Chains A and B, each alone.
Chain A
Amino acid sequence: MSDQAKKSGGTGKVIFFAILALILLSIFIVPTGGEGLSFHPMDQFQIKPVFGDGPIHWYTVTNATLWMGLTVLGVVLLLIVGSSGRAIVPSKGQSIAELTYGFVYKMLEDVGGKDSVKYFPYVMTLFCFIAFSNVLGLLPASFTPTTHIAVTGVLALLVFVFVTVLGFVKNGATFLELFWVKSAPLALRPVLAIIELISYFVRPVSHSIRLAGNMMAGHAVIKVFATFAAIKLIAPVSIAAIAAMYGLEILVAFIQAYVFTILTCVYLKDALHPAH
């Protein structure tokens, strides 16, 4: 009985993946002309208005807006609808909500220290937004806001400005000790100070480009493989490669959200306790 159920589950999985592959194919290989292959790996990042075809003003509702809205919806569904039971013995949704909460809370507490806990809502906001937009971006025909440097740049700059201001407010001028490495020999300290200063200002750049680059690269690679699937001879290989990349991308979606959040925690710790 259970064996049969397992088997039917297995075939269900196979059918699910086959349908997924078909959807991926149908979406990615629409514009293959007769003559040769045409690669459009970056077209999926195009920003288009949802209603009409007019110019894009700052208030225009675009596909980016749509998917950011879906991200908000996902967060609400997981963390508010999921936890609405308030049960002592949690349901599935509530367990996931609590796991997410505990995961980010523990990360912040472990890395940033006890006094960084009061910035938890901010860190949780970043984590939820990035994780949800990364994962929702993996749906076929979707749009991923986090592939855009404008979005990740604002996220990273918010963290950078927040952390810098917080450092100066909490520690005053002693915050500058972050750049003055006391454990190094005196002669080396000015050199190290310059290096530390540069690395401090590179933080928002690497912070934002890491996220955007990872997400963009994954989507572009899947698209390139999808284009290769138009050639009948290597189509199976390329579809298998798409499936493999898809798995990797699911992993990367979570890891990048985790990395962005944990680096935020590290910067917070630097701001709160600047001494090395």
Chain B
Amino acid sequence: MEGNIAELGKYIGVGLTAIGMGGAAIGVGNVAGNYLAGALRNPSAAASQTATLFIGMAFAEALGIFSFLVALLLMFAV
């Protein structure tokens, strides 16, 4: 284990990549929060927009999943 620079870099890289998931978390929170804000202002229009909410959350989340995937690849496959 000692002196293995490649191993060290790998784990640092995994940690850094995992930070990317925080961005996705912020994004998903933004989507949900703005949806809630809009829904409270106009509750009658909220029900028709739940599909859009989930699509938006899915898109925001997908990028976080990408960074998760990169982290996994770094950790297990590289």
Interface of A toward B, CB cutoff 8 Å: 42, 107, 110-111, 206, 209-210, 213-214, 216-217, 255, 258-259, 262-263, 266
Contacts and interface: CB of A to CB of B under 8 A. Distances in A.
A209 B73 CA distance: 13
Interface of B: 51, 54-55, 57-59, 61-62, 65-66, 68-69, 72, 76
Contacts, number: 38
Contacts of B55: 259, 262-263, 266
A42 B72 CA distance: 10
A42 B54 contact: no
B54 A210 contact: no
Contact of B69 (A107, A213, A259, A266): A213
Contacts of A216: 72
A39 B51 CA distance: 38
Contact of A255 (B54, B72, B76): B54
B58 A263 contact: yes
26 contacts: A107-B51, A111-B51, A206-B59, A206-B62, A206-B65, A206-B66, A209-B62, A209-B69, A210-B58, A210-B61, A210-B62, A210-B65, A213-B65, A213-B66, A213-B69, A214-B65, A216-B72, A217-B65, A217-B68, A258-B54, A259-B54, A259-B55, A262-B51, A262-B55, A263-B55, A266-B55
